[in-house]
Structure 1
Amino acid sequence: EGRFGEINQAGIAYYNELIDALVLKGVQPFVTLCHFDMPQELEDRYGSWGTFPPSRCSGHFGNCTAGDSETEPYIAAHNIILSHAAAVDVYRTKYQKDQKGMIGIVLHCAWFEPFSESEADGLATDRANAFFANWFFDPIVLGRYPEEMSRVLGSTLPEFSSKDMEKLKQGLDFLGINHYTSYYIKDCIYSACEPGLGTTRSEGSFQTIQERDGFPMGKRVSFFSSAPSYIDRTGSTTYLKFLDTIFRTNMAVSFACWICRVIWVGNTFTHKEWRKW
């Protein structure tokens, strides 16, 4: 009930009933640790946490004109990574042995492919992947920022201390993936690009395109982590078919691989926070 208020028992009761109903149907609940509150009573029930939701401040979701957009996004992201590592460290050392739960992070993960076979578009695609999901995945899974980001940003990119590195080694138990779409990538260093997301130097100097020759892109690829993957949100542009249970099942099966454990499917009502309706 607000930052300094009492615990909202009515809210706790609602989620308790929701959890009971899910468990009764054989569904294992997962909760996001900070979206953006931390209800302790719910954690004690089942012990599976995603430390963060997919977070991004941009023109689509809010006014970010104040401050220094050349540097501050990297400071904010650095602190998100460190807070994830700190939360994992606390959970690993104090609670996981008794709770036998899991902890991971949820990220918005678009996929990128070169628009052409040119070397420039190929390098731009590497930068796009680096400045998007790998910005967070690489430090958490590999213990360092992507090389493409380091080359572009230099000293602008914050550094991890040796103490930070020790906590990052705690890793995660699963990768939470919100995958909505994929893009073709065009280079913006040696080619002229229309202004937009990704086109500035501090964002990686690339342009996103959804179609080539009239066809959208997006294919299954391998990933670098052995941690189980949880596809938290996904969907289909074929709206009417997607309401059909068989279509939803076939779509989920088509994505399944040995490393993919869970697929969650969003709907209209789960995304009201994204925009005004």
Structure 2
Amino acid sequence: MIIHYDKFETWDRPFGDLVVRLLGEEAVNNLASSNFEYIEDAGDFVVNQSDIETVSTEIQGWLWAHEFCVFHGTRLLPEEILSVQQNGLLPLVATDRERRLRKILARHPRWYSVENRLLEVIEDVGPNEKQGRRQGQVHFSLSRSGLVNSFDHYLTHGSEFDQHVAHRLFGDQSGLEPLHSETVPVLVHVSFSGEQLIQGAHPHFSYSDVVGMGEVPGLARTFLDAWAYKAANPSFNIETLRTDCCVMERFATPRDRILHIEKLGDMAAH
């Protein structure tokens, strides 16, 4: 079964088996009868019953053994949806955005006063990395709920790169309107192996690097904290966390890893 983080039933039992192996039945029963104020406190309970290295290593092995669904949120033109279906998701190449941005931003009433600066701004935001630093990357969210209900600017206005370019060109938020009105919001459901998920969630310091720093890696804590807190609070709904666990890759996502392209009802611009 592919694991969807927000759908607890897809990973509750196998992760619970891991915690029982780590702590034993008695400690898990104590966890279930505890009253935690914060979700992190529940994860700390598990770590304190064992140790950081053991917990991190066991969760790493669990991640390696499973397949996960993650989500890429954006707004696309109709022909771009077809391109994703046929070619997968491609890393951002700033200079490739020129034609798209000209087509969309030409709808802005002040376009003709700024269009001569477009290439300069694309160069600044892209290769020169003066804003955003998205060149050569594809970004995903582990949590569908987090992407749709919390950090949803990708779904209201699309690519963060395009948003930076529009803001630089027009000097205000008005450039966001055509980015919204000319496109439709989509969630691309993508399959990740456990190894791919670990690498993508720790693009700067590796999973083992973080353990070496004396911490449980962020991806491991995302699963550990949620499982432990729900074990103590069975009525807790993980979707309400709106978890901001981001995953990044620096290469194309082939179409055979794309599980589904979900077209959303239009999301209000704000």
TM-score > 0.5 by shorter chain: no
TM-score by length of 2: 0.22
Query: Which structure has the greater CA radius of gyration?
Result: 2
Q: Which has the higher helix share?
A: 2
TM-score by length of 1: 0.21
Q: With CA pairs under 8 Å and 6+ residues apart, which has the higher RCO, 1 or 2? A: 2
